[in-house]
Amino acid sequence: MSFTDDPIWIAKREALWEQCLDSRGWAEELSRKQVRDLHAYFMTGRLTKGEPKPVGARLNFFPDMNVEAIEYVLTHNMPEGATEKDVSSLKLFFSGGIDDVPGVKTEEAVRIFRYVFGDSYSPDWHLPFLIKDESTHRQSELDPNYQFACGLGPIRWLKYEDRPRGMWYYLTDYWFSLLNYVDPILFRPGDTSHRPPNVNRKITQNKARRFLGICAHEIDITNGADEGAERRQYMQNIRDRMDALEGPPDLMTLWDDVKKSDPDEFSEF
């Protein structure tokens, strides 16, 4: 942690803090004491009377984000007697929160994700870090529905020219490995028969349909400009891989439906 004493690093970190205060609304959402405590942790990585309390926040606001930093946090900055709820928070963070850590590079977020979850989905999962002084890795069920929803993240990049790709752009293989495990209701827009945990059913259903529709019709926000080449290649890749799938049935029905739909349905962003 000696890097937190480096004057150059401190200046850059303070600039990032001010940027986050403006862009993320922390000053409006938190009390002055919370902002003060969060700033101290943001700059030093040392907890102030257990603040911030949520486990995800202890990673999100830590002064660095890489595999080694995560190991440090889970060894030194976890609450005593970490519960399964804490482990669940970690799974949610690693699936969807790494990319949003202030200052993290997408390439590093991808590296962390692959270190934590591997290259393809497996329901038999354990946290690849030891918590505090524990001698065994935590075994835990891994929810494919939440990861599937996170994996729809590139839709923002496809819809808006000024949005970054995000880490799930690089995790296409992993996203496809989820599809046979996802609750089929998420492939059936409008079906309200039940609610899978950890996801907003309606939002995920609609986003999945829109994501597949954009890729099926290769709707290009750049209108064929050179800078849109990467987007067009990405959409073609998704289309080719979807066409090569043989299941699950509800997903194939959704895919056939979006391909037959009017492209204008998906071009209105």
Q: Profile the chain (269 residues) by mean pLDDT over runs of 10 residues.
A: 92 94 82 89 90 89 94 90 89 92 94 97 93 91 95 95 93 98 98 95 97 96 93 97 97 98 85
Q: What is the pLDDT of residue 67?
A: 95
Beta-carbon contacts of residue 55 (< 8 Å; ≥ 6 apart): 78, 79, 82, 86, 89, 90, 93
Q: What is the pLDDT, as a whole number, of residue 153? A: 96
Looking at residue 269, its pLDDT comes to 55
User: Contact 250/187 with Cβ under 8 angstroms?
Assistant: yes
Structure pTM? Answer: 0.92
* The predicted structure's pLDDT at residue 27: 78
Q: What is the pLDDT of residue 177?
A: 98
SS (H, E, C) the chain: CHHHHCHHHHHHHHHHHHHHHHHHCHHHHCCHHHHHHHHHHHHHCCCECCECCCHHHHHHCCCCCCHHHHHHHHHHCCCCCCCHHHHHHHHHHHHHHHHHCCCCCHHHHHHHHHHHHCCCCCCEEECCCCCCCCCCCCEEECCHHHHHHHCCCHHHHHHCCCCCCCHHHHCHHHHHHHCCCCCHHHHCCCCCCCCCCCCCHHHHHHHHHHHHHHHHCCCCCCCCCHHHHHHHHHHHHHHHHHHHCCCCHHHHHHHHHHHHCCCHHHHCC
Count of Cβ atoms closer than 10 Å to residue 62 Cβ: 20
